[in-house]
Structure 1
Amino acid sequence: MSEKNEKNVPDKHQPGDGIRSMKTSRVFRVVNFELYAKPNMVVMAIGLTAFIGCSAYIAYMRSEWADRGYYSTYTADGEETFKKRKSRWD
């Protein structure tokens, strides 16, 4: 008789389960995979390090161009070019 009662009792949900505890279709789970995947700290750390590294490199290169006296301009075609700053005295 205890087996019968255990089958009728709904699953106990843990705090933080969120949408994982709801009944959904397979299509919803495939389309919204990030809602059901458990966080992976190693992959997150690698991605965050790569993103910060790329952003720092872009900022460094921009500052190098500015320190050398170049500035960015846009042509009529929408292309970005770098020109050397010239003094009015030259």
Structure 2
Amino acid sequence: MSETIDFSVTRDAWTEVASGAAYVTVATHGRERFAVHAGTVAPALTAAFLEGAPGEPVKLMGLGASDKVYVRATVNPASVVVLSS
């Protein structure tokens, strides 16, 4: 089953946006850049990440049942949409 959810994120904290989904796509609604991290625990603010931008969504595939996806803004607060299945 697919699920689409909107999130508002800041650069000060990671927000868990998906858990146990094999496929996750994160895109922005506006002009903000955002960071995406996948793992089994919440990352530190300095953890490595994939960066998304307007017109450049981040697509994750082959995630495991225990994997979680976290998002934060890289500069300004961001509004993102997350599609998971």
- TM-score class, shorter: under 0.3
Bigger fraction of residues in helix: 1
Comparing both chains, which one has the higher relative contact order based on Cα–Cα distances under 8 Å and sequence gaps of 6 or more?
2
Q: Give TM-score, length-normalised by structure 1.
A: 0.18
- TM-score, normalised relative to structure 2: 0.19
